[in-house]
C-alpha cells in the first residue's frame, strides 16, 4: 500500500501527524501533490469543537480545503498531458445530474462532497484527488500559495456577484477577517467607488484600509455606516447583520456570508417597505476562472494576506494562529 503523511484530527484539540493511504484517482480525477493549504475558520471550528452544525467528526479527519499543488497522476479518462501542471483546487465533487446542478447552482447540490467536511478528507496531506475539471491550471507567475487562496477569494467573488457590486457601487462589509478583506478587494476590482468596512478589532481595520477600504469604523465607538447599495456580512454577528440591513438604500441587497447564530431578528418592515433583497452565500459556483484572472492581473493581492507558514507537523500551531486578530492567513506547506 502506498502511504502519505497527513495531519489527522482525531478529536477536538487533538491533531497528529500520521501515515495514511495515499488516494488513487478515479477515471475522471487527478492526483495532486499538495504544496500549499490555507487555514480557514471552519478548520479551526472543527479543531476546537469537533463539529459544525450537523457535520460531526466521528472518525479521524484530514482538514484543509484551500489548496493548490502539482498534478502527478491522472485517471484513465484524463489526458496524461496534465501531469506536471500547477493547479488551484476547487474542493468539491457534485452529482452534475440534479436540478440544482443542471441550473448551474452546483454548490447547492444535495449530494455534494466537500473537502474537510465529515466524512470527506481535505488537504492537510501530501496528496489529494479531485475531478480533473475542478483542478484549474494557473499561470507560471502566480505563486502556489496565491493559488490555494483562490478558494476564499471565490467566496468574495460569489458574495459580490450576489450583491450586484459594479462600477460606482457603495458597499458596506462587516467583518475585516480574511473573507471581509478579499470581499473588499473584489468590490474594488468590480468598480465599487465607496467600500466601507466595519470591525471591532483595530488591527483588522488597519488591514482593511490597506486592502481597498475607503473608510473603516468600529461600531462599538458609536459610528454608523453611510447609506450603501450593498451590504456583505462577513462577521456572523446578529447586531452587524441588522445594522447592515438598516444601512441599505431602497432596493439594496444584503448578502450573509459569516457563520453566526442560527436565528436572528431582522428589521422586516424595512425589508418590505424598501424592497430589500436578503440572501445567503453557500460556498460558490463557477468562480475559479475569474479568481485566477483577478490574481494574475494584479487586481487582487492574495500573497500579501499570508502572515505565517507552517509544516504539516505544525498544523495544530497553524490552526491556533488563525485565532489571533493579527493573523490573516496561515499557510500549511505539506512538502516542508
pLDDT for the residue 233: 98
Phi first, then psi: what are they for 113, rounded to 5°?
-120, 120
**For residue 56, what are the CA distances in angstroms to 9, 117, 119?**
12, 8, 8
Q: How confident is the model at residue 53, as a pLDDT? A: 87
Tens digit of pLDDT for each residue in 226-281? 999 999 999 999 999 999 999 999 999 999 999 888 888 999 999 999 999 999 99
Smallest CA-to-CA distance from 128 within 8, 10, 29, 60 is with: 29
Beta strands in the chain (DSSP E): 3-11, 14-21, 29-38, 51-52, 55-56, 61-62, 66-74, 86-89, 92-93, 113-114, 127-131, 135-137, 170-174, 194-198, 215-217, 228-233, 248-256, 277-280, 306-311, 329-333
Q: Taking the CB of residue 210, how many other CB atoms lie within 10 A of it? A: 11
Domains along the chain? 3-149+302-333 (3.90.180.10), 155-280 (3.40.50.720)
Q: What is the mean pLDDT of residues 31-39?
A: 98
The helix/strand/coil state of 134 is helix
Residues 6 or more apart whose Cβ sits within 8 Å of residue 139 = 292, 296
Q: What is the pTM of this model?
A: 0.97
User: Between the CA of residue 210 and those of 96, 182, 215, 295, what are the distances in Å?
Assistant: 40, 12, 11, 17
- With cut-offs at 50, 70 and 90, classify the pLDDT of residue 151: very high
CB atoms within 10 A of CB 217: 17
Question: 5 pLDDT exceeds 80?
Answer: yes
Pair 11, 129: CB distance under 8 Å: no
CA-to-CA distance for 196 and 46, rounded, in angstroms?
A: 31
Q: State the Rg of the chain over Cα.
A: 20
Q: Mean pLDDT across the chain, nearest whole number?
A: 97
Residue 1 has pLDDT above 80, yes or no: no
Residue in the block written with cell 492526483: 31
Mean pLDDT of 71-79: 98
Q: 306 with 329: CB under 8 angstroms? A: yes
Confidence band, pLDDT 50/70/90 cuts, at residue 110: very high
Whether the ω angle into residue 119 lies within 30 degrees of 0, i.e. cis, is: yes
The pLDDT, as a whole number, for residue 322 is 92
Q: How many CB atoms lie within 10 A of CB 79?
A: 9
pLDDT at residue 326, rounded to an integer? 86
**CA angle, 212 as apex, 206 and 213 as ends, to 5°?**
60
For residue range 165-184, list pLDDT tens digits in order. 999 999 999 999 999 999 99
Amino acid at each position: 500500500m502506498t502511504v502519505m503523511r497527513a495531519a489527522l484530527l482525531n478529536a477536538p484539540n487533538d491533531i497528529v501527524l500520521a501515515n495514511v493511504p495515499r488516494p488513487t484517482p478515479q477515471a475522471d480525477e487527478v492526483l495532486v501533490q499538495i504544496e500549499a493549504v490555507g487555514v480557514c475558520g471552519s478548520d479551526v471550528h472543527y479543531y476546537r469543537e469537533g463539529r459544525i452544525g450537523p457535520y460531526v467528526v466521528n472518525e479521524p479527519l484530514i482538514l484543509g480545503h484551500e489548496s493548490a499543488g502539482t498534478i502527478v497522476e491522472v485517471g484513465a479518462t484524463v489526458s496524461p498531458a496534465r501531469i506536471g501542471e500547477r493547479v488551484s483546487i476547487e474542493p468539491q465533487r457534485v452529482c452534475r445530474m440534479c436540478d440544482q446542478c443542471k441550473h448551474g447552482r452546483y454548490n447547492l447540490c444535495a449530494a455534494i462532497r466537500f473537502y474537510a467536511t465529515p466524512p470527506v478528507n481535505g488537504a492537510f496531506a501530501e496528496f489529494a484527488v479531485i475531478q480533473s475539471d475542478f483542478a484549474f491550471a494557473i499561470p507560471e507567475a502566480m505563486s502556489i500559495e496565491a493559488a490555494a487562496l483562490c478558494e476564499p477569494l471565490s467566496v468574495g467573488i460569489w458574495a459580490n456577484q450576489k450583491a450586484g457590486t459594479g462600477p460606482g457601487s457603495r458597499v458596506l462589509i462587516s467583518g475585516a477577517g480574511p473573507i471581509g478583506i478579499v470581499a473588499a478587494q473584489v468590490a474594488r476590482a468590480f468598480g465599487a467607488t465607496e467600500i466601507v468596512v466595519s470591525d471591532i478589532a483595530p488591527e483588522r481595520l488597519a488591514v482593511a484600509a490597506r486592502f481597498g477600504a475607503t473608510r473603516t469604523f468600529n461600531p462599538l465607538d458609536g459610528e454608523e455606516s453611510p447609506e450603501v447599495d450593498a451590504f456583505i456580512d462577513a462577521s456572523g454577528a446578529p447586531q452587524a447583520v441588522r445594522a447592515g440591513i438598516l444601512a441599505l438604500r431602497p432596493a439594496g441587497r444584503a448578502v450573509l456570508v459569516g457563520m453566526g447564530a442560527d436565528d436572528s431578528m431582522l428589521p422586516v418592515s424595512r425589508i418590505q417597505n424598501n424592497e430589500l433583497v436578503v440572501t445567503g452565500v453557500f460556498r460558490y459556483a463557477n468562480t475559479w476562472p475569474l479568481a485566477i484572472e483577478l490574481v494574475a492581473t494584479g487586481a487582487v493581492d492574495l500573497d500579501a494576506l499570508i502572515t505565517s507558514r507552517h509544516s504539516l507537523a505544525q498544523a495544530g500551531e497553524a490552526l491556533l494562529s488563525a485565532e489571533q486578530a493579527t493573523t490573516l492567513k496561515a499557510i500549511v506547506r505539506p512538502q516542508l
